[in-house]
Amino acid sequence: MKQTGRAHIRYTLNNIQMNYTFNSTNRPSSYKKLSYAQKLAIVNRRQRTGDVANMAYRTGYSTTHVSDVLSGKEFNERILNATYDLLRNRKANSTYVNA
């Protein structure tokens, strides 16, 4: 059977053939990707001291360029996605101030 992006499973049980087609990702069908601006807002709410230097080291860009991307002056999805992945599980800084 030819595979085309989706996984196909065919079961035969007591001469009854059932075909199951399912998406091979863990995302629900209602999942919507975040836009660049949404990711940038989330990153800026969760950013802490040392994150710019850490992302510059991880991505290979200069700290100045990473800082410009995270402040919104320049556009670079690779830096933003790497930073978003690093800060994904952090709480926003405002939760610490208001507590």
pLDDT in tens, 1-30: 454 555 555 544 455 554 555 556 666 667
Q: Judge whether residue 69 has pLDDT over 60.
A: yes
Please give the model's pTM, rounded to 2 decimal places.
0.65
**Cα 82 to Cα 3: distance, rounded to the nearest angstrom:** 31
**Cα 79 to Cα 42: distance, rounded to the nearest angstrom:** 14
Quote the tokens at residue 91. 């709480």
Choose between 70 and 33: higher pLDDT. Answer: 70
pLDDT at position 78: 95
Does the residue 41 lie in any domain? Answer: yes
| Domain coverage including residue 40 | 36-91
**Cα 88 to Cα 82: distance, rounded to the nearest angstrom:** 10
Choose between 15 and 77: higher pLDDT. Answer: 77
Backbone angles phi, psi at 62, to 5 degrees: -75, 155
Q: Cα–chain-centroid distance for residue 12?
A: 38
Does the residue 79 lie in any domain? Answer: yes
Does the residue 81 lie in any domain? Answer: yes
Choose between 89 and 80: higher pLDDT. Answer: 80
Indicate the SS3 state at residue 84: helix
Q: How many domains does the chain have?
A: 1
